[in-house]
Amino acid sequence: MQFAASKTSASTVDIAVRSGRSGAEGTGVILTPDGYVLTNNHVVSGGGQIAVTLPDGTVKSAQVVGTSPSYDLAVIKLDGASGLTPAELGKSSSLTVGQQVVAIGSPLGLEGTVTSGIVSAMNRTVEAKGDNGQPVIYNGIQTDASINSGNSGGPLVNLDGQVIGINSAILSSGQNSGNIGLGFAIPIDTASRVANELINGGVATKPQLGVTGTDSGTGAASVSSVVPGSAAEQAGIKAGETVTKVNGRNVSSFADLVAQISANAPGAKVTLTVTDGQGNNPRDVEVTLGSQQDKAPQTTGQTDSGYEQQDPYGSPYGSVPGGR
């Protein structure tokens, strides 16, 4: 763990955003020597002046390059930066449950804090409030590594010091807004795709299935309507049907369907298992996902969610300590 912490700390920065009397604090991952940094959208979406503290204590101003609300990701560019140490990115698809991981960030403004834990679960449907109050839904990595307010946007790394996730949210209990061992990270396979799009064009894309729906009574996703001309319509999916699996993995709710679809890149082919409204007559349907610019988060249109308390770190923006 010492090797992983030392290696990745050289590529981890503290981010402070101030706008009037309010502010936000978070963490970022250096992607390029000239200062492109990946972080969470909810860290920078409130606007204001961005100050980034490098591992050597140097402070640089930064500008937002682009944001991806559906994945709670953003890329910022440091002003006048050069010679920085980019993080080594791993593959979240190669993770296994029980694998040891390390989280690095600035919880409550304590820069360079390192905590450790394991991968508690994979493919966890995470529904957290975004900057506009709408839920951000993604297919996340669950970890018990201690992460708190200020860890937002920081790296979750394997013991080789490779970034395998971007820390984004925790699930708290009752009045306890701190860590209780239920943290979630955006898989780096998704985050790196989004970051590359933001760096190259300032806009990210997301896959589009083209349905609205609700939770079915059988624990799957019931299709309420199908968007004309969408990937779903072209694949023959109809309103009133139920999606029970994506690529062979069970769908537990409509939010879970959104999360599983969002884990794919636009243009990817996925196999959906679809039944009639009574759960009978199952059939497999191959769908080529469409593409849509990511300017607003994916939502279920539902207010009753199992992750309703799961704001990013209890408070989407946190606060900036008076002295740093």
Which positions are annotated as active-site residues? 42, 72, 152
C-beta separation of 80 from 65 below 8 A: no
Residue 25: how many CA atoms within 13 Å on its side-chain side?
Answer: 20
Q: Is-contact 111 155, C-beta < 8 A?
A: no
* Nearest alpha carbon to residue 143 among 156, 161, 155: 156
Any idea what the Cα angle at residue 18 is, between residues 108 and 37, rounded to 5°? 75
Query: Measured between alpha carbons, how far is 17 from 186 in angstroms, rounded to an integer?
Result: 22
Contact 25, 318 (CB under 8 A): yes
User: Is residue 183 a contact partner of residue 147, using CB atoms and an 8 Å limit?
Assistant: yes
Q: Around 75, how many Cα atoms within 13 Å sit in the side-chain half-sphere?
A: 23
| Counts for the chain of helices (H) and strands (E), in that order | 5, 21
Q: Which two tokens stand for residue 237?
A: 């999916």
